[in-house]
Amino acid sequence: MEITIKDLEDNLKTLPEDLYEEVNDFVEFLKFKYSSKYSQNNIPDWQINESDRRLKYISENPTSIVSESEMRHYITRLKNEE
């Protein structure tokens, strides 16, 4: 069965709103990963393999990751404590 935009929208609507930013970060990453720019940069195989390994880990352990925005907030908070 082919997944449609509607399927994705329906699935997205089942998530709590506080996860939307994380989903968006992942979509942006996928767009980058599969863009022609990514392919043309002569990225070494080891780096592609490492990215694939990390993506696999994330998909198998979704609660173990921190979104970019969460990390940015955390770092900002640490800087403010100094």
Does the CA dihedral 26-61-54-59 come out positive or negative? negative
pLDDT averaged over every residue in the chain: 87
Tens of pLDDT along 41-73? 678 889 989 999 998 998 898 888 888 899 999
- Distance CA(64)–CA(62), nearest Å, equals 5
What predicted TM-score, i.e. pTM, was given to this entire model? 0.44
Mean pLDDT of 4-10: 93
What integer pLDDT is reported at residue 9 of this predicted model?
A: 93
Listed by start position, the domains of the chain span 5-81
N- to C-terminal Cα separation, the chain? 53
CA distance 12 to 29: 17
How big is the CA angle at 62 (ends 59 and 63), to the nearest 5 degrees? Answer: 165
CA separation for the pair 19, 26 (Å, rounded): 11
